Amino acid sequence: MELTSSMLLKAQLIQKQHMHNNLQGKVKKADQSDEKDKLHKVAEEFEAIFVKYILDGMRKAELAEDPLNTEAVKTYNSLMDYEMSKKIAFSEGFGISEALVNQLSPQEKVRR
């Protein structure tokens, strides 16, 4: 009787260890996917900031003087450029966020 109860306890212990290892693996994968999601988000935010600087530079290159160029219009254009830069970065983008993600996590290549 002791032999079977001892074997049963060992089997239960092995099963618990296996379940624990399996759970740890799932947690690790979830953490890695969270890290990937965070990395993608930060890379896209960086691309949005970069695109905003490009748009700001384009706005500064005035070819002619605009009679309606008031501070309110400048503020509006700045806000519009910011929203446009986010749209560009989060949709197709220029590929900057992809390059950043690929550089920072070389084990996995990213394509949109």
How many separate helices (H) and strands (E) can be counted in the chain?
Answer: 3, 0
pLDDT computed for residue 77 by the predictor: 83
φ, ψ for residue 96 (rounded to 5)? -70, -45
Asked if the structure places residue 36 within a domain, the reply is yes
pLDDT computed for residue 106 by the predictor: 64
Give the range among 11-15, 35-39, 88-92 with minimum mean pLDDT. Answer: 11-15
> What is the tens place of the pLDDT at every residue in 16-74?
676 667 666 665 665 567 788 888 888 888 888 888 888 888 888 877 777 777 888 88
Asked if the structure places residue 38 within a domain, the reply is yes
Asked if the structure places residue 80 within a domain, the reply is yes
Asked if the structure places residue 110 within a domain, the reply is no
Asked if the structure places residue 64 within a domain, the reply is yes
Asked if the structure places residue 45 within a domain, the reply is yes
* Alpha carbon distances (Å) from 61 to 11, 24, 55, 65, 99: 75, 56, 10, 11, 29
C-alpha to C-alpha distance for 70 and 88, rounded to whole angstroms: 26
Asked if the structure places residue 8 within a domain, the reply is yes
pTM of the model: 0.59
Question: Structural domain tally of the chain?
Answer: 1
C-alpha to C-alpha distance for 2 and 9, rounded to whole angstroms: 10
Instruction: Spell out a b/e string for 32-52, using b for 16 or more CB atoms within 10 Å of the CB, else e.
Output: eeeeeeebbeebbeebbebbb
Asked if the structure places residue 112 within a domain, the reply is no
Show the domain range for 34: 2-104
